[in-house]
Amino acid sequence: MIFIIKVTTNKEDRALELISAKVNKHNLNVYAMARPHGLRGYIFLEAQDRESAEEAAYNLPYVKGIIGKTVEYSEIKNMIEPVLEEINIEKGDIVEIIGEPFKKEKAKVIRIDKAKGEAVVTLLAAVVPIPVTVKLDNIKVIRREKEAGEAAEGESETIKKEESDEELKINKSYEESSGGLIPDDY
């Protein structure tokens, strides 16, 4: 039987530790405990009967009580089991980081570890490319490598043209008299 225990919000981990210690100390018939990610103020407790569950949670700090209704595993399955979604990020993609501390920074994906759910990226704004590991759910794809390759060809022509214009300006500025302290005939 699965029981729902109401606890103080943001103290779920501490309440789990206290209940676990009490279960181990008194050798109670509690089989499992879970604190689902994203569900605040509640803990799931699987026990043989209601008495074991009540004894495990009785008179502990942060524990407010047991909700009267028991639940089936099928009702809470989506909160406990992680949902595996298709990862649509590839090496070479340009991504935007949506999680702290690099929020709104753009980066290029170097490597992806789908098992760990992480990607190694380099920040585009950084002068020196430093690899940074971020969770896949903290990044979103802005541009694919194939699309970027097509755009990069056009951009590179524009950049080369701008560079050549700048070179001409620089060369012209050296040819003109600087009006400095050294005379032109030196």
Structure confidence by residue, pLDDT tens digits, 131-178: 888 887 777 777 776 554 444 444 444 444 444 444 444 444 444 555
Name the pLDDT band for 83 (thresholds 50, 70, 90): low
User: Phi-psi bin for 21: left (phi > 0), alpha (psi -120 to 50), beta?
Assistant: alpha
The answer to whether 89 and 136 are in contact (CB under 8 A) is yes
CA distance 37 to 97: 22
SS3 assignment, position 27: coil
Closest CA to 65 of 73, 55, 57: 57
**pLDDT value at position 110?**
87
Q: What percent of the chain has pLDDT over 90?
A: 23
Pick the more confident residue, 172 or 17. Answer: 17
Q: Give me the mean pLDDT over the 49-75 stretch.
A: 89
Mean of the per-residue pLDDT values for the chain?
A: 77
Domains of the chain: 2-80 (3.30.70.940), 94-143 (2.30.30.30)
CA distance 109 to 123: 9
Q: What is the DSSP string of 84-118?
A: P------TT-EEEE-STTSTT-EEEEEEEETTTTE
* Tokens at 34, concatenated: 């879970």
**Which of the 8 DSSP states describes residue 130?**
-
Sole residue written with tokens 């699965």: 2
* Tokens at 64, concatenated: 């407010």
* Tokens at 147, concatenated: 């699309």
CA 35 and chain centroid, separation? 20
pTM: 0.48
